[in-house]
Structure 1
Amino acid sequence: MQVRIGVQNVPKELVVDTTQSADEVTDALSDALGDPHGVLVLKDRRAGRIVIPAVRVGYLEIVEDEQRSVGFGSQYA
């Protein structure tokens, strides 16, 4: 799954590929926002971690992995 994170005062969004579910990501943000000094921690597919101060998160966009077709054929043929 892909998570796009808008961080306040940063012009470019962060894009994280993670194996965490949408519920796990949402719960992580909720938990982090509950603490005045909380941080959002997401695990990257490559065993890395993304750590952001929760109060700086502007938005999260969670995109489920899509099944991509391979080849030159048309679905309307």
Structure 2
Amino acid sequence: MSVEVKIGIENTARELSLSTTEKADKVYKSVADALATGEGVLELTDEKGSRVLVPASKISYVEVGSSESRRVGFGAS
């Protein structure tokens, strides 16, 4: 099961959206650790193995949820 993560970044019109195979608890911990000092970097790895780095000081919000419950469109079952 994959987890969908949406990150709002200051002064950016669009949010950053990615799916990861990490568990939601691990994602929450990564976000909390990065925001603890405000000087850290949030690092996540998507399903394809690409790493995403976001400066904690630029994060507006983070949404974490299961991407399995929102399947819509062609090929959705």
Q: Decide which structure has the larger Cα Rg and report it.
A: 1
- Structure 1 residue ranges (4+ consecutive) displaced by more than 6 angstroms after TM superposition: none
- What letter corresponds to residue 33 of structure 2 in structure 1? D
> Over the residues paired in the alignment, what is the CA RMSD in angstroms?
1.5
Unaligned runs of 5+ in 2: none
Task: Please name the residue that 1:40 is paired with.
Answer: 42
Deviations 1:25-62 (A, max 9, x none): 11001111223420000111101011000111111111
Q: 1:36/1:63 Cα in 2 relative to 1: closer, same or farther (>3 Å)?
A: closer
TM-score (ref. length: structure 2): 0.80
The structure in which a higher percent of residues are helix is 2
* Structure 1 residue matching 2:39: 3-state secondary structure: coil
Number of residue pairs matched by the alignment: 70
C-alpha separation between the residues in 2 aligned to 1:46 and 1:24? Answer: 18
Unaligned runs of 5+ in 1: 71-77
Q: Percent identity?
A: 37
2:20 to 15, 18, 34: 18
TM-score (ref. length: structure 1): 0.80
Cα pair 2:19 2:67 within 8 Å, conserved:
no
